[in-house]
Amino acid sequence: MTDEEIDALFAEAERYCAERRAYLAEVWNLDDGCRWNADLAKGTIRFELGDGRALYGAVSIIGTLKEGIWQWGWANASLPEALRAGSRFMRDFAERTGLTIFAEPAWRCSDAQADGIAELACHAMDGDTPFRMPSRGALIHCVITTLAAAESGASDENGAALPRT
């Protein structure tokens, strides 16, 4: 891929994620201020909305950023296998784009680059939204998929599927 094609790929992912975030904010009032609780062993997350409703979703870890070093989820042996699997497809981008960073287990990375990679993964996965969660001095970059709504306290199996835009 040319530099222009790679830039267009990242720009399209950024646009996709901006539209998803706007939709989630408008319909569900889901924003950075919402309380959340993730169960990484189960690969799930719950967002508590201000009006008593809750959203549930699946979590796929794309990578972690700590002290300026990005480590792909697939390369992080400390993560549960099911969570690591979600980022393996990003290795294929090395072949598609010619960018070796997609195949290297870890590399120096800025916050903005990590956000861009999470957006690219979210778009490629047709995800609901990229999300960052702090953990032990690192930021875990993940993609939330299959968001569903449920009444506060209900199990995630009782939620209705979130409509796609």
Total-model pTM: 0.85
Cα–Cα distance between 88 and 45 in angstroms, integer? 21
User: What is the per-residue pLDDT across 58-112, written as a single tens digit (0 to 9) for each?
Assistant: 999 999 999 999 999 999 988 888 888 778 888 888 888 888 888 999 999 999 9
User: What is the per-residue pLDDT across 104-129, written as a single tens digit (0 to 9) for each?
Assistant: 999 999 999 999 999 999 999 999 99
Both tokens of 150, joined, read 């449920």
Under DSSP, the state recorded for 124 is H
